[in-house]
Structure formats: structure tokens, C-alpha cells
Chain A
Amino acid sequence: MSGVETSPVGSYNKTTAGEPVLVELRNINKTYKSPRGDIHALENINLEIRAGEFLSLLGPSGCGKSTLLRCLAGLEAISSGEVRIGGELLTRPPEGLGIVFQHDLLLDWRTVLQNVLLPIEFRRLPKQDYREPALALLETFGLRPFADRFPWELSGGMRQRVAICRALIDEPSLLLMDEPFGALDAITRDNLNIELQRIWTRTKKSVLFITHSIPEAILLSSRVAVMGRDPGHIEEIIEVALPRPRTLATRETPDFVRYSAYVRTIFERLGTLVA
């Protein structure tokens, strides 16, 4: 089934189908060696991320979505297959990558601003040139007044916003987000979904977004890759043709409901939803 593209709702919105491919995953397999027998984490993954698209990996925990993201980030080696970013074979963490994890991973000893500038330091770029962009970025997330605060003075939602700013500071061509809102409460999560969509619409970054929330995936994505487990594989890829900007109210529209119902049937078929 992998690679099949479907759209339960007619595409009346401009899609990214014609855009050039930024990331190419070909026949990815990932096996963890273990004394009690090998664990097949990813099986025959084929996936493309197009330039400027928001692609979600949606699946239950343990389906290998995080592993896939880590392979793509060059943080983990694949067992077979190949990853190409911008046509180049991936052998180590690529340049122009922004990454957000489930935990904000802010450095306690740095202020908010210094945290945002961390990738600049790692890349040995002149820090003073990025001060203003960093402050502007913080401004878009309503964090400008907190630039000189320390992470422990901020709420969970604010910390995760800082982590997103940090991922965006270097103008990455590819943004990887591994369940970035998984540890947040529902209201903060909703707010961040809308903020993220706003930023994405403006900057048109290519985003790979991992989530296990069906509404979150549909609300944000251009396409949703639904994953199944044992071993992790891509079951189906769905083109989400809902018009933008999408709001929280979009979730109540019939089209949206049709999308989520459709995704649910996939999970039911996979046996991951017992309802």
C-alpha cells in the first residue's frame, strides 16, 4: 500500500504536487540488533518531501515515526535504502536543518535569546548579525519581552516556542518537528498549531511534522503520511486539500470531519484503533 496517494475530498485548493522534491527516501529499512532477536523498526519506506510542503507523519506510538525522523536528520544510520536531500546522499546531519523535539531541550544556563542563537554558534556564524532576526522571531511568538529571561522562568508552551525560534533562526530549508506539542496541554497546543501554521504560510518552509493526533495532522498538513506498526511502514499518504488559512473552527467543517473519519478508518483497518 505504501506510496498510494488518496484524497477523500476533491482537491479544490492549490497543492504542492508540482513542487520540486527536496527530500527523497527510497526503500528505507531500519533494523535494531538485539540479543533477543532483531527488531524491524522501519520497513520499506518510500517518501518524498516536496519543497515548501508541510508533511505529517501520523501514527501510533512505536510505529517508528521518530526513528524515521532521526534517520532523516542523520542522527541514526539506516540499515538499507537511501536518503537524499536536495539530490545529495545523506551521510551525516545535513546543512540547513532545523529541528524541534518533543522536549524543548533549552539550555538552562542560557537566556531565551542565547538559546535561540545556539545554532548560529554551532555553525560559527557572526552572532551579532543574528541578534535582530532572533528578536524579531521571538516577537512573532510574543516572546520579545522574555528575551533576557532564563528558560525556567517560562511556561511549557513558551519554552517550546523558544525551541521553535531556535530551529528557525538559521532559515533552514527543512524543518523537522518530532511531536513538538506532545507534552503540552490542549489549549496551548491549539494556540501553537495556529501560530505554527501562520509561520509556515509566511515562510513556506518544508516541514516534516510528527504527531499522533489526527486533528493536528489534518489541520497543519499539506499531506499526511499514515503509518502502521510492527514493522513501521507507511500505510497511506493523504493529500489534505483544505483551504488556508485554517483556523480552530476548521476542525468543525464537514470536509475536516470527513478527513479525520477517513484517517480513522485506516487505523481501524490497521487494528491500531479499537473503538
Chain B
Amino acid sequence: MTEVATRAPKPAQQRSASPSRPPGSHARFLILFFLITVAAWQVLCKVTGVRSYIFPGPTDVFHELLTGSGFLFWHTLYTMTATLVAFAISVILGIILSIGIVYSRLLDRTLFTSLVATNAVPKVAIAPLFILWIGIGIESKIVIAILVSIFPMVVDCVVGLRSVDPGLLDLARAYRGSTLQTFWKIRLPNALPSIFAGMKVAISLSLVGTIVGEFVGSNWGLGFVILQSQGQYNTARVFAAILILAVLGTLLFQLLDWAELRVIPWHVSHRNRHGHA
């Protein structure tokens, strides 16, 4: 028991990453980088004297963001709603399909194969069909976004559910665990890191799918704003919409990253972030 003595319970020490990087320095660095980029952009526009409708400077874009804030807000909300609903359906449906694929040889051969085939078709190419079938409402955006984002979800989830240490399955069998118990206590928690990996890809693709849907046919959403403003040579507004999309995409991704850290703190990829080396 010699090791135990030397390995007395550690106090909650070294919570922050490392001594060379105090907390908050990451954010400060990011802000600095952002300010430098904006300044360079402004200087570039002034020096070259490029017209605003070709390449707007940051002041034009920020002006657009402020004056059109109400207008942009509602369109952002629309895009965001479609993205999140599509993402949620993708995740839930993706997990359900994966369970079917993992537990049923028939589904593995039929469903998985057809999913791969579906994914091989560029979704942009079939998006107009969905506008034709479902109309230009939010439903068609959601369907297109699901179509784009469900594939990585299923692929990652299937891999996660399948890659279980055979020893763990033996353990469950030796203790006469039922299939359901083995699923809840071993397979699913074991798959969580893969599921999160799939979710991180799916959230970005949901946003892409929604914008594609809005490009193809819509009266609402940031995709519609971009297309319409481009037609009106309101390039500053196009930039504003793109900026919102970038911020939105980053936020959604970060939100998932944050959730992952809380749901699977035990995973190898997080151990250093907790301060336990």
C-alpha cells in the first residue's frame, strides 16, 4: 500500500491551465487580434480608395449593423431557429438511426448504405426540389439542414457505439447484464465522446444547410438577406450578415465545446483542461 501513502488526495490545485498562461490572457489575445485585423482592414480601404459597394470598410459594416439592427435581428432569429431545430432533429434522429444500425445487421446493410449514397449527392443540387415540395417556409430550410448535417452525426455515433473494449462487454455478460443495461451503462457513455464530435460537425453543417435553403428560396433569414442585399449593391449589409453568421457559428460551436466539457469531463481530451495532468 506504499503508493497510497504517497498519493494522498490532492487538494483542488492548479485549476487554471498553466503558469505561463494566466486565465483571461486567451480572451485578451483574441480581442487584440480582432482590433488589429479591423484596423488593417480600415487602413486598406482608405489607402486603396475602393468603393463601398465593392468592398466596404469596417465603419460601413458597423454602421449597417447598427442602423439595420432590428431588421437583421429578426432574420438572424429565423436562421438561428431553423439551424437549431434542424440540429436537434439531426442529433436525436442520428442517434436513433445509429442504434438501429449498430444492433441490426439488416439496417446496417440497407440504411447505412443508402445514407452513404445520399451523402454522395451534393445537397445544394437537390435543395430546389425541397423548396418545390415543401414550399419556401422554414420547413424546407430545416429539411435541407437535416439532410446536410445528419450524415456526420450517424457516422460518428455508429463508430462510437461500436468501438467498445470487448473486455467491457465480457464484464457485462459475466454479471448477466441485459442488452438494455449494457447499452445504457457501457455502450452509450462509451460513445459520448464520438457523439460530441459528430455534434460539433453537425452544428456547423446545420447552419450551412439553412443558408443553402435560404439561398434557393426564401423570404426570410440571413441567406435571404445576403442574396437580396447583393442584388441591391448593398455590400455593407452582405458583410454584416456574413459577420453575424461567423459569430453565430463560433458561438454555437463554443457552446457545444462547453457542454462537452461538462458532460464528459472524464474523457482524455479534457483531463489537462481540468488541471489534472
Interface of B: prevailing SS: helix
A155 at the interface (CB under 8 A from B): yes
Task: Please determine whether A121 and B181 come into contact, CB atoms closer than 8 angstroms.
Answer: yes
Q: Using an 8 Å CB-CB cutoff, how does the interface string of B161-181 with A read, 1 for contact, 0 for none?
A: 000010110111111110001
Q: A93-B173, A93-B175, A123-B176 are in contact. Are A118 and B168 (CB under 8 A)?
A: no
Task: Please determine whether B167 and A101 come into contact, CB atoms closer than 8 angstroms.
Answer: yes
Q: Using an 8 Å CB-CB cutoff, how does the interface string of A154-180 with B read, 1 for contact, 0 for none?
A: 010110000000000000000000000
Chain B hits for A142, CB < 8 A: 1, 4
A12 at the interface (CB under 8 A from B): no
Q: Using an 8 Å CB-CB cutoff, how does the interface string of A67-97 with B read, 1 for contact, 0 for none?
A: 0001001110000000000000000110101
Task: Please determine whether A191 and B176 come into contact, CB atoms closer than 8 angstroms.
Answer: no
Q: A109-B266, A145-B8, A157-B3 are in contact. Are A97 and B185 (CB under 8 A)?
A: no
Q: A108-B266, A152-B271 are in contact. Are A122 and B175 (CB under 8 A)?
A: yes
**Shortest distance from the beta carbon of A52 to any chain B beta carbon, whole Å:** 21
Task: Please determine whether A97 and B174 come into contact, CB atoms closer than 8 angstroms.
Answer: yes
**Shortest distance from the beta carbon of B224 to any chain A beta carbon, whole Å:** 44
Task: Please determine whether B3 and A121 come into contact, CB atoms closer than 8 angstroms.
Answer: no
Task: Please determine whether A95 and B2 come into contact, CB atoms closer than 8 angstroms.
Answer: no
Task: Please determine whether B175 and A118 come into contact, CB atoms closer than 8 angstroms.
Answer: yes
* A198–B2 alpha-carbon span in the complex (Å): 17
**Shortest distance from the beta carbon of A100 to any chain B beta carbon, whole Å:** 10
Chain B: number of interface residues, binned into ranges: 20 to 34
A107 at the interface (CB under 8 A from B): yes
Q: A99-B171, A153-B276 are in contact. Are A122 and B176 (CB under 8 A)?
A: yes
Chain B hits for A141, CB < 8 A: 1
* A119–B173 alpha-carbon span in the complex (Å): 11
Chain B hits for A99, CB < 8 A: 171, 174-175
**Shortest distance from the beta carbon of A163 to any chain B beta carbon, whole Å:** 9
A-B contact count (CB 8 A): 76
B9 at the interface (CB under 8 A from A): yes
Task: Please determine whether A75 and B267 come into contact, CB atoms closer than 8 angstroms.
Answer: no
* A191–B5 alpha-carbon span in the complex (Å): 13
Task: Please determine whether B174 and A121 come into contact, CB atoms closer than 8 angstroms.
Answer: no
**Shortest distance from the beta carbon of A190 to any chain B beta carbon, whole Å:** 10
A200 at the interface (CB under 8 A from B): no
Task: Please determine whether B175 and A119 come into contact, CB atoms closer than 8 angstroms.
Answer: yes
Task: Please determine whether B3 and A155 come into contact, CB atoms closer than 8 angstroms.
Answer: yes
Task: Please determine whether B168 and A73 come into contact, CB atoms closer than 8 angstroms.
Answer: no
Chain A hits for B256, CB < 8 A: none
B264 at the interface (CB under 8 A from A): yes
A40 at the interface (CB under 8 A from B): no
Chain A hits for B192, CB < 8 A: 109
Q: A109-B266, A157-B3 are in contact. Are A75 and B170 (CB under 8 A)?
A: yes
* A157–B175 alpha-carbon span in the complex (Å): 23
Chain A hits for B268, CB < 8 A: 152
Chain B hits for A158, CB < 8 A: 3-4, 7
Task: Please determine whether B174 and A95 come into contact, CB atoms closer than 8 angstroms.
Answer: no
A4 at the interface (CB under 8 A from B): no
Q: Using an 8 Å CB-CB cutoff, how does the interface string of A191-227 with B read, 1 for contact, 0 for none?
A: 1000100000000000000000000000000000000
Chain B hits for A157, CB < 8 A: 3
A17 at the interface (CB under 8 A from B): no
Task: Please determine whether A146 and B9 come into contact, CB atoms closer than 8 angstroms.
Answer: yes
Q: Using an 8 Å CB-CB cutoff, how does the interface string of B18-35 with A read, 1 for contact, 0 for none?
A: 000000000000000000
Residue of A nearest to B192 (CB): A109
Q: Using an 8 Å CB-CB cutoff, how does the interface string of B49-80 with A read, 1 for contact, 0 for none?
A: 00000000000000000000000000000000
* A153–B10 alpha-carbon span in the complex (Å): 10
Interface residues of B (CB under 8 A from A): 1-4, 7-9, 165, 167-168, 170-177, 181, 185-186, 189, 192, 264, 266-268, 271, 276
